[in-house]
Structure 1
Amino acid sequence: MKTLPEQLLSGLSHELRTPLNVIMGYSAILREEGEDNLSKEQRLALDRIQSSSSSLLAYVETIFYMAELDRGLMPLTRDAVRVSDLLARVGAELAPRARAKGLAWRFDAPAELPLVTDEDKLVRLVRTLADNAVRHTTEGEVVLVARPAASGVTLEVRDSGPGIDPELIVETEDVIAGRATTRPPRLLGFGLRLAGRLVRILGASLTMAAGPQGTTCHLVVPDLAAAESGRTAQAATA
């Protein structure tokens, strides 16, 4: 049986998603059917409606996904993936946005780099970090790099933006560790809050370094099959 907060979240999910989808649907129809009759200003206004509605819907989805994670309703799965394919999926979504801002987008990963992990959660994690990089970088590039590591892979998201605030790095580390803090709250975005939760659930580690040349997010993601084999071997010798 759902608790009152869970019932409220379920209701809000419907109440927010439905009107947003209606707004996006009708604005898309107006844009397509009125292409020849709309002024430049009207087309720009409809584009802003679409963009703002999409952003708001993404925030809504993130809030409810985090709520599902916190309630333990998103169990960890074990999927055999190729890391290059995973990065290509992220690029298919974010590269057009990066290029529309005049940014270079590239990723560097061995073609045959396997990993057993929760594919959906890792895609969400990398997409969240890369989306943050695209949004806060005004010139230069966003780069995704993957390399094999002991019992897993390392993934880096690099950008040439202004560099993330060091206090936000500390707050993200608090989320990853599940630590309560008495520091005055900053406006840590939903994206980094989600990233912190996903890092913890995947058993990964995340370090963030920022400077005048941009921000680098360094992920170490364990191979779940290798980790499980290691635990089994330890139990057998105990």
Structure 2
Amino acid sequence: MTMDVCSLLLDEAPDAFVVQSPEGIVLHWSRSAESIFGYRAEEIVGRDLLDLIVPPGRAEEERDMRREALENGFAAVETLRRCKDGSLVFVSISAKTVRDGEGRPQYLIIGKQDVTQLKVMRDAKLVEARYGKLLESMPDGIVLVNASGCIVFANTQAEAMFGYEAGRLRGLPVEVLLPERLRGGHVAHRSGYFGQLRTRAMGMGLELFGLRQDGSEFPVEIGLSPLETEEGTLVTSAIRDITERKLIERALHEKNVELAQANAAKDRFLASMSHELRTPLNAIIGFTGTLLMKLPGPLNEVQEKQLRRVQSSGQHLLELINDLLDIAKIEAGKIELVVEPVDCRALVEDVVATLRPAAEGKGLAFAVEMLDEDLRLSTDRRAFSQILINLVQNAIKFTEQGSVTIRLARRIEGELALVEVSVHDTGPGIGEEDRQRLFAPFARITPRSGKFAEGTGLGLHLSQKLAAQMGGRITVDSASGDGSTFALLLPEG
């Protein structure tokens, strides 16, 4: 029989046939081999199969089979081989040695039968017998895939999720469950996963999509885990349809965008309107002060009382606007702190000089205790002064009798050195309910008299925000009837 006739017979055989030299070089590659593995004859003749269709980690298996065939005349094995597109197929391989007249090996004739579907049936039978009831009881869709990438088991939840009738997924490549655009990359990813098996928890941050039989896509989460059996390793995929969650996340995202836009608009409004309002207010307060100084002429008692009410209301409104503007700047990240060395004692004495008349006007003792004489900070002087003035003003406002005391001390927390400026008063104290909302914007505590004291309800909120910007914080120690201590803590240095 001539070589041409032999080649014709090999080409027309339903199984793949390969003729190799004893060294493993391909001399003939049949049409069935082209069909199974995807390589044309001109791509593979003259090369070693180890370089093309033998998966990583199975090279020694291929060499052992060749060695056995050359030594014993015949060898057989069922194993995995890699196609041109990266996918894996199960093949039953038989190799026979052809010898020349002197008994020396001349050719290796190798038959390769694709047994992928037979392997699927064996795997499916094993899984159903051993794990079927357990997998059917799982709340998620469960799909088991063997090394060839074929589905060997899909529970009822998975079939319903992807829109397939019972049993119709078995034997199909797992890529049928993926959108077309993801399939090519998934083949290589799947083959790589079988080469390095590991558990991947559900929700690992990958954005994944499934494809129903009707062509519709839906978002999924997938967890992977290997399952060792006597038939080989299977990969278990737990699949969860997260369409509803994505809809909720999208709605929340849209709401968050709307809220962010509304918040930005609020900040722009506050910044612009605060400047617009401060100009006429400053004029009103200024002209009211001029009238009260009686420069234009004398005032009667009623006129002076009314002008003082105008002046007081204008100053109160200006304080509110200033607080709102500062809060808007902080929220927008536009607050600019000027860090410079600050003499704590000198700053406290300036605040005391400013507010002593208000304390003495209520008959309160007003004292300063310097527990550490030489305390210096590198911080924003204006923000430091603003916080301290606010804490002292509150202490004076809510204390009807007794004293207000400012204490300056050094405090150590772990390895951190802090400067503590505390303001203690003998006022009515603050109950638990009021303490919970003390630093919220527009929060105002209810005094024993039942009447709210004057104030914007923004002072402590703004002070806490400023303290955070300076790397510090404000603490409060108080109980109803026992007075209050507010302390500003800032890193020393």
Give 1:203's aligned residue.
471
The whole-number CA distance in structure 2 between the counterparts of 1:14 and 1:165 is 37
Alpha carbons 2:340, 2:378 under 8 Å: kept: yes
The whole-number CA distance in structure 2 between the counterparts of 1:106 and 1:41 is 37
Give 1:99's aligned residue.
360
* 1:59-114 C-alpha deviation (Å, 9 max, x unpaired): 11011011111111124443211111111122232222222222222212244222
How far off its partner does 1:141 sit?
Answer: 1.7
The whole-number CA distance in structure 2 between the counterparts of 1:172 and 1:129 is 13
Give 2:350's aligned residue.
89
Where 1:139 maps in the other structure, the secondary structure is coil
Confirm whether residue 120 of structure 1 aligns to residue 382 of structure 2.
yes
Give 1:221's aligned residue.
490
How far off its partner does 1:156 sit?
Answer: 0.9
Listed as ranges, the matches of 1:4-83 within 5 Å are 4-33=265-294, 37-83=298-344
- Segment of structure 1 superposing worse, 73-82 or 63-72: 73-82
Give 1:152's aligned residue.
418
* 1:158-201 C-alpha deviation (Å, 9 max, x unpaired): 111111343332224678xxxxxxxxx95471011112212222
Alpha carbons 1:115, 1:152 under 8 Å: kept: no
Aligned length: 213
Where 1:41 maps in the other structure, the secondary structure is helix
Change (3 A) 1:76 1:22: closer
The whole-number CA distance in structure 2 between the counterparts of 1:173 and 1:10 is 22
Higher strand fraction (1 or 2): 2
Listed as ranges, the matches of 1:157-176 within 5 Å are 157-172=423-438
The whole-number CA distance in structure 2 between the counterparts of 1:100 and 1:174 is 30
The whole-number CA distance in structure 1 between the counterparts of 2:278 and 2:387 is 22
Report the TM-score, using the length of structure 1 for normalisation: 0.79
The letter of the residue matching 1:102 is G
How far off its partner does 1:149 sit?
Answer: 2.1
How far off its partner does 1:142 sit?
Answer: 1.3
Give 1:192's aligned residue.
460
Change (3 A) 1:174 1:39: closer
The whole-number CA distance in structure 1 between the counterparts of 2:297 and 2:367 is 36
The whole-number CA distance in structure 2 between the counterparts of 1:118 and 1:49 is 33
The letter of the residue matching 1:200 is A
The whole-number CA distance in structure 1 between the counterparts of 2:267 and 2:327 is 12
Alpha carbons 2:440, 2:461 under 8 Å: kept: no
Tell me: higher relative CO, structure 1 or 2? Use CA pairs within 8 A at least 6 residues apart. Answer: 1
Where 1:91 maps in the other structure, the secondary structure is helix
- Segment of structure 1 superposing worse, 33-42 or 89-98: 33-42
Q: Percent identity?
A: 31
Alpha carbons 2:392, 2:423 under 8 Å: kept: yes
The letter of the residue matching 1:167 is E
User: Of 129, 142, 156, which residue of structure 1 is paired with 2:404?
Assistant: 142
Alpha carbons 1:172, 1:196 under 8 Å: kept: no
Alpha carbons 2:267, 2:329 under 8 Å: kept: no
The whole-number CA distance in structure 2 between the counterparts of 1:174 and 1:15 is 26
Could you say which structure has the larger radius of gyration? 2
Where 1:154 maps in the other structure, the secondary structure is strand
Structure 1 runs not aligned, ≥5 long: 176-184, 226-238
How far off its partner does 1:12 sit?
Answer: 1.0
